[in-house]
Structure 1
Amino acid sequence: MQKEPMTIYGYEKLQRELKELKEVERPQIVKEIDIARGHGDLKENAEYHAAKERQLFIEARINELSEILSRTQVVDPATITHEKISFGSTFKVMDLDTEFVYEYTIVGAPESNPDRGFISFYSPLARQLIGKVPGDEINAKLPNGEIDYEVLEVYYKEISFE
């Protein structure tokens, strides 16, 4: 099984979610199912069926998180030099056509959220920018076309997923 990189911040966030599901959500839904069972005929008991559906969702998410965490290689971006773009780096690039500046941070796949500037290590843009330094220009081949970028800055910035 290949280990997947993930920042320490993302790893801790997923661990907190898993703990919440196991220690709070799972016991709560078991109680809700027991209460709903007490309301009589299960065939027509919407409360019972809703609780069972929620239980399935919780168990599926617990399994998913457990699987993700089991194959994670935790990387603390604070311990890496960020002279060039690498995993955990935050960087600014300028679209050379529009002169619009974008800020991104390269993170693990489960942490990615492009709308918030967190791009997956495996994304087409990240793959093409790994190893680049300020001043480098690239013609990024992306799913929606090609974009010319210039790397403006590369640095470390503490990640917050909240």
Structure 2
Amino acid sequence: MAYMTQEGYDKIVAQIRHMERIDRPAASAAIAEARDKGDLSENSEYDAAKEAQAMLEMKINQLKETIAHAKIIDTSKLSNDTVQILSTVEMKNVKNGMTMKYTIVSESEANLREGKISSRTPIAQGLLGHKVGDTVEVKIPQGTIQLEIMSISIA
């Protein structure tokens, strides 16, 4: 089951719609064009077009599977007492004093440039369930870091 916001759900639905209405006909047209170029047994363009179509269909099916098992979270029912999915957490690295701010989201909505990290990342896993003032130890690939939770808000 994938937890996500209504916004994230709507983005995936729009992506599927685009792929089905625009990308799928374009892939079919590319196959038809390559087919018209002659012998299919030696036509690498045809093979590439078929492979691209298969990849597109696989991506469409993956996205449909994601939304089929999605649970949309009602942000009005969330509390900022503890860190949970859709919490925006400001934290400080105890060792170097550096502060960070991340929103914990589902895997499909994660985007580090926007400050959104997947709930499956080590940092998010370490923060989930903790409160303001707690110091948590998080195992990351470079070792272990201690993060102090400064504030929690709902995205």
TM-score band (shorter)? 0.7 to 0.9
**Count of paired positions:** 155
Partner secondary structure for residue 43 of structure 1: helix
Question: When the two structures are superposed, what TM-score results if normalisation uses the length of structure 2?
Answer: 0.88
Partner secondary structure for residue 13 of structure 2: helix
Residue equivalent to 1:109: 107
Residue equivalent to 1:152: 150
Indicate which of 23, 33, 50 corresponds to 2:31. Answer: 33
> Which residue identity does 2:36 align to in structure 1?
G
CA-CA distance at 1:79 after TM superposition: 4.4
Note the 1:1-162 alignment, pairs <5 A: 3-114=1-112, 116-157=114-155
Mapped partners of 1:76, 1:11: distance in 2: 12
Partner secondary structure for residue 101 of structure 2: strand
> Which residue identity does 2:88 align to in structure 1?
T
> Which residue identity does 1:28 align to in structure 2?
A
Question: When the two structures are superposed, what TM-score results if normalisation uses the length of structure 1?
Answer: 0.84
Mapped partners of 2:76, 2:95: distance in 1: 33
CA-CA distance at 1:122 after TM superposition: 2.7
Mapped partners of 1:29, 1:48: distance in 2: 11
More moved, 115-124 vs 129-138? 115-124
Instruction: Quote the sequence identity (%).
Output: 32
CA-CA distance at 1:139 after TM superposition: 2.0
Runs of 5+ consecutive residues of structure 1 not aligned to the other structure: 158-162
CA-CA distance at 1:156 after TM superposition: 2.6
> Which residue identity does 1:12 align to in structure 2?
D
CA-CA distance at 1:55 after TM superposition: 0.2
Show CA shifts across 1:10-37 (max 9, x none).
2222111111111111111111211221
- 8 Å contact 1:77–1:87 — kept in the other structure? no
Mapped partners of 2:31, 2:116: distance in 1: 38
- For the structure 1 residues 78 and 41, does the alpha-carbon distance in structure 2 shift closer, same or farther, using more than 3 Å as the test? farther
CA-CA distance at 1:127 after TM superposition: 2.3
More moved, 90-99 vs 115-124? 115-124
- 8 Å contact 1:77–1:89 — kept in the other structure? no
